[in-house]
């Protein structure tokens, strides 16, 4: 266990030292990593959406659109100030809880 911790510690510090010398290298590596993660997520979402829409299962498609609408409301609420949310009746916590509950009920079928 100690050897594994030491190896990880040494690996992290060698990476940090390397990147501290060349901050643009660290920025570039971080940016590439973030782009790759976003690309993988988008690809997965697109694949899931296409699979659901091509399934022909109207119940599954309806659930997908319901969940998409809920996610859109959450995105809109996140872009608003707290005062705007209160005026328009958006309860962000309630929306998030609803999304999580809906997803847990539906994900088995997706």
DSSP 26-43: HHHHHHHHHHHHHHHHHH
Place of tokens 């498609």: 61
Cβ burial, residue 64 (10 Å; 0-12/13-18/19+): buried
Structure tokens at 35: 């782009």
Query: What residues contact residue 63 under an 8 Å CB cut-off, 6+ apart?
Result: 102, 106, 109, 110
Mean pLDDT within 69-97 = 82
Mean pLDDT within 22-46 = 79
Residue 98 has pLDDT above 60, yes or no: yes
Q: Which residue has the higher pLDDT, 4 or 50?
A: 50
Whether pTM exceeds 0.85: no
């Amino acid at each position: 266990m100690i050897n594994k911790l030491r190896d990880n510690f040494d690996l992290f510090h060698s990476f940090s030292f390397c990147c501290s010398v060349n901050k643009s290298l660290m920025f570039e590596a971080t940016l590439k990593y973030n782009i790759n993660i976003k690309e993988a997520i988008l690809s997965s979402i697109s694949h899931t959406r296409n699979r659901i829409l091509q399934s022909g299962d109207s119940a599954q498609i309806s659930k997908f659109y319901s969940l998409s609408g809920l996610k859109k409301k959450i995105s809109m609420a996140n872009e608003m100030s707290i005062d705007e949310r209160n005026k328009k009746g958006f309860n962000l916590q309630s929306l998030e809880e609803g999304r999580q509950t809906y997803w847990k009920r539906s994900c088995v079928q997706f």
